[in-house]
Amino acid sequence: MSLQPGDAIVAHNFGIQIDGVTIEFLQEVSSLSMTQDVIEYAQVSANGQPVIKKLPGARKAGECTVVRGVTPSEAFTQWITESMNGNMGSARKNATIIFMDLERQPLKRYNLGNAWCSNVEISSVKAGDSSVVTETVTITFEELTLG
């Protein structure tokens, strides 16, 4: 069942690709953001009236957070390793967060240019606990385009 006019994308159908390789399992994507400075300047018009204008300033790099169960996924693990080792020539990749309809057809893409992992955190583990081990990865990127 595809979305009808007025339907919103549901939050549970999403995925992420790193240089075109789909990461097999994800639990959460959050805090996807990129900001731009705002330049405000004041002038006085010819008749002496103050005029305030706002213009776009410099864009800043963005970030998002990905949470996933720890699996033997080679692609994601290698990407984290390259990033943490500072191998930026191979660590900077293009990533895409994909939102899908109820038939799992892509509807909206957020393309992250020159993305790399800037932080990784492993969940707590405890003897006798029956929860899964997760890794929370902060992905930083230089460009955000919507597709």
d(CA 28, CA 77) in angstroms, rounded, equals: 17
Assess if residue 18 is contained within a domain: yes
How many structural domains are present in the chain?
A: 1
Whether residue 40 is contained in a domain is answered as: yes
Residue 114 lies in a domain: yes
The residues that bridge with 6 in the sheet, in sequence order, are none
Residue 6 lies in a domain: no
- Judge whether residue 71 has pLDDT over 90: no
Sign of the CA dihedral running 108, 115, 84, 78: positive
**Confidence band, pLDDT 50/70/90 cuts, at residue 117:** very high
Amino acid at 40: E
Is residue 142 one of the residues assigned to a domain?
yes
Residue-level pLDDT at 72: 81
Task: Provide the whole-model pTM.
Answer: 0.84
Residue 21: what pLDDT?
A: 86
Q: How far is residue 97's CA from residue 17's CA, in Å, rounded to a whole number?
A: 7
Residue listed under structure tokens 């800037």: 118
CATH of the domain at 139: 2.30.110.20
The tens digit of pLDDT for each residue in 32-69 reads 999 999 999 999 999 999 999 999 999 999 999 999 99
- The whole domain housing 40 covers 14-146
Question: What b/e sequence results for 8-39 when a residue is b if at least 16 CB atoms lie within 10 Å of its CB, and e otherwise?
Answer: eeeeebbbbbbeeeebeebeebeebebeeeee
